Structure formats: C-alpha cells, structure tokens
Amino acid sequence: MSLRSQTTPCPTVQAHMVMDMTYDATTQNIYALAFDITAAEEGEDGEIDIPFGLFTLDKATGEATLIGYQDYEMLYTLAASPEGQLVALSSGGTLWNLSKLSGELAEETGYAEQLPTALQSMTFDKDGLLWWAGFNEIQTNGLTSPNGFLANFTFYEEEYFYGYNFVGKLGNNLEVVGLYIDPQNIANGAPSAVTSFSAIPGEAGATTCLLQWTNPSQTFGGSTLPDGFSVNIYRNDNLIKTFTNCTNNETMTYQDSGMEAGTYVYKAVVSNNEGEGPAAYTDSHFVGADIPGAVNEAKAEKSGNGYEINVSWTKPAVGANGGWFDSENLTYKVVRYPDSVTLHENLNNTYFTDKTITELHGFDQRLELMDNLRQR
C-alpha cells in the first residue's frame, strides 16, 4: 500500500476521478474520495487493483492533499458522522469505517442489501442516521434496469450491530450526488463556533493542558452576536468547565488539570437563549508522560572481526503516542533472532558489538525501550 504524500490542484488530481466528497464538522475539513485509473494493476488473483485515495481539499484554493491510498476495495460513497468518523460504501455493499490519518479501511460497520454502481452519495443527519441515495442496475429477464433508490443505516451502541432500511425507489436512471443534511440543525440566532481553538499539553509530562480560543462575534445566521452567552468546554465529550456572561470576540484561556496521562480532544460549544451553536474541536493531543516511541536509524553491520556485529541506533524522537517522554533515562533490552538470545537487559548506550556469534547464520536484533515509567 502506497502512502504517497503530495499536493495537487483539485480539478487535475493527476488522473483521479472523484467518487464522493463530504464535510467533517469536527475538523472543518472537506474530504474527497477518488481513484487513480492510470495506476490500476492486475493482482495475483487476476482482479484489477485500483488505488483509491482519500484527500483533503483546501477551501480557499481548491488544492487537494493526499492522505493515503488503499486498493483493497472499490469505494463509491463517503460521509462524515457528527462525531467525525468517515464511512465509505464498497462495491460489495460493505460499509467501512475509514481512517482520516492514513486513508485505509479501518473496520466493517454494516452491510447493504443493494450493491452500488455508478454515482451516488451518503450523508448523516443530526441523530446519527446515515442516509444513502443509491444507484444500481437490476437484471430482469435479460434486461438491465437502472435504478435510483433511498435507504438508510441505523447504528446502535452495541458493537457490530446496525439496521438497514430500504426506503423506496427514486426513479429509473436517477443518480443523486452531493446528498447533504445539516447534521447540527442550529437556530440562526444561536452563536457561531469559537475560532482559533488550540490545546497545548503541559511541559515535561505534566498532566495539564492549556486551552485558548476566540469567542464568536456573529450568530450562526450571520448577525452580530450579543454579549452574555456561555461557553462550555468538554474533554473527550465530558463537560469540565462552563464560562458564563461571555463577551463577543474575546480571547479566552483555560488551564485543564488533574487528568490521567492519555490522549485527549477538547470541544467548545457556545450557547445562548436561542440554543447551542456548532461545536469546535482541538487536535488530538497526548497529555502527561508518554512511553517511548520507536528508535531511529537502527542498523547492524559486520565489524570485520570474525562473526562480530556492530549494532547501533538513535533515540526515539517522540513518544509512542506523540507526547513527551523522558529521553534522558532510557535503557534498552536487546534480543537477537532467530535464536532468541537476550544480549542486554538494561543497556544505557545506543550501540554495542555482538561478540557471541560462533557460526555463520542470518540474524536480526529486536530493541525494547525501558523508561522510568513503563516498557515499550
């Protein structure tokens, strides 16, 4: 699987054909699903593998930035849930969760009773119901009947449980693209979202996080927002702080503390007597002391003296979850394979020479990092 990083204007994304697009309110990103027909290859099973790419689109310039490719499934639709989960429907009728980080298929989340062909679209409503304006071709007595239809998926709290409901036909040869339902259903007089919402984890593994944002100056409908509204702050969807009697266009901060080390996303929701406005989200951050990430530049080279092997590496650059870790107190456990010999248990250096090999063989080394908190 190729994760080729590139930026290219949207109307000419090489030879890509855009199948569907969606807007993710949690990140305020536009995502596009497109395939590259010029890169199609015949697989070992004789099937044609076509790389499907997930892109983000710049709202100001229209430029498309590739997130990643997958060629496991042919995908027809793309939609973002109110919580920010991307879903895509495959040619076999499988509904997949799609990773926003890699463009890869994450997990199967449902199955359709109709198989899609041609152009179609999906969208979530505010209650999490996934609507599908589908299109397929039905064979009857040797004749092909193009068929547009409407269906929906219901998702339940129990894992792997879903409901599929065929609503009805839309008409022959009717392909609906760009299906969209406002998932938030916000009143025009409610506040718009905060802007410049950021989260800065505490230094040196401190379990604190500094939040900063700018209050809205307009209502959701575009009018001037009166002062006196409230701002609710959520950590991983749990309400942690409410500010009342807030001021239009004011920059505010809040120092969150007392949480356990872990990955957190913060949400801000502004409300007044007209209702709640749209939510704004920070990026995901690891707060607290992380465990070490993978070492870099690991290599094993023959020293020239018999069977001796020089092994070296450099320290991890970041924690395993992208957070801070104690890089000054690392030790390393080194295991040689395939004979599973432990060469070092608590090595402080980032290099050593293996002098224990007595016969010609193929070997590799496994490095395990130990810090003063946990093992990686």
Helix, strand, coil tally for the chain in percent (to 5): 0, 55, 45
Rg (CA), the chain: 26
CA 105 to chain centre: 11
Q: Global pTM?
A: 0.56
> What are the beta bridge partners of residue 152?
131, 165
Burial class (CB in 10 A: 0-12, 13-18, 19+), 258: exposed
- Residue 94 CA: distances (Å) to CA of 57, 73, 97, 130, 141: 26, 9, 10, 14, 27
Which 3 state secondary structure label does DSSP give 365? strand
Q: What's the pLDDT score for residue 139?
A: 67
Q: What's the pLDDT score for residue 339?
A: 81
* Local confidence pLDDT in tens for the 376 residues of the chain: 222 333 334 444 456 788 899 998 888 899 999 887 676 676 666 666 778 889 999 988 989 999 998 878 889 999 998 888 999 999 899 999 999 888 898 888 889 988 898 889 999 987 788 999 999 877 667 777 788 899 999 988 765 568 899 999 887 788 888 888 876 678 999 999 999 999 999 999 999 999 999 999 999 999 999 999 999 999 998 999 999 999 999 999 999 999 999 999 999 999 999 999 999 999 889 999 999 988 888 888 888 777 888 989 999 988 989 899 998 889 898 888 888 888 888 888 899 888 888 776 655 555 555 444 333 3
- Distance separating alpha carbons of residues 105 and 99, to the nearest angstrom: 6
Burial class (CB in 10 A: 0-12, 13-18, 19+), 183: buried
CA 143 to chain centre: 43
